[in-house]
Amino acid sequence: MPPGTNGALKTSSIERLPGYAKVLLDYYGLQKDEAIIVISNSGINAVPVEIAMGAKERGLKVIAITSCGFSSSIPSRHISGKRLFELADVVIDNYVPPGDALVEVKGMVQKVGPISTIIDSAILHSISLCVVEKLLEKGVEPPVYMSATYPGRRVQQRTL
């Protein structure tokens, strides 16, 4: 196995594991009428598909961040045949190309430079900003984490 791939290989295997989504949904104790954001570039593996299915069964609103073009071009790996974008109440297309890489390097067949993490982070931050604005419009000040490195911020020390 090439160095540095164990984490990627492990998480890819876990994402394909049928039944694991129920464990995650049970652990986090999500409630009816809450919303969940499910992110999967391909949207074809068991865990993101089953998270969406299980969340809908529990009465949650499902927001998907996925590559609709990529997902539409390949079959689902889930027994239902469904893909994430087909299950969500709201679909945000990240437009990431198949293979999740953008840069052609001379001598390489495969493109490099994964982009989904960057795009999906920008989408999540944009959603957070909009939610804060909407809550403030309703007179609710949401709890917002401030960086521990910000001058004047007090950080509670924990003993191990």
Q: What is the pLDDT of residues 3-28, one digit of tens each?
A: 554 555 556 666 766 778 888 899 99
Q: How large a percentage of the chain has pLDDT more than 90?
A: 61
Q: pLDDT confidence of 99, banded at 50, 70, 90?
A: confident
pLDDT over 70 for what percent of the chain? 84
Residue 154: pLDDT band (50, 70, 90) is low
Inter-residue contact 82 to 49 (CB < 8 Å): yes
Domain 10-96 annotated CATH 1.20.120.10: no
Nearby residues of 122 by Cβ (< 8 Å), 6 or more positions away: none
Q: Kindly tell me if the per-residue pLDDT of 68 is higher than 60.
A: yes
pLDDT score recorded for residue 157: 56
Whether pLDDT at 47 is above 70: yes
- What does the pLDDT average to over 20-38? 91
pLDDT confidence tier of residue 158, bands split at 50, 70 and 90: low
> What is residue 137's predicted lDDT score, i.e. its pLDDT?
97
Cβ–Cβ contacts within 10 Å for residue 15, how many? 17
* β 35-39/90-93 pair status: unpaired
Which of these, 98, 119, 120, lies nearest to 110 by C-alpha position? 98
Find the DSSP H helices in the chain: 6-15, 20-28, 46-57, 68-72, 84-87, 116-137
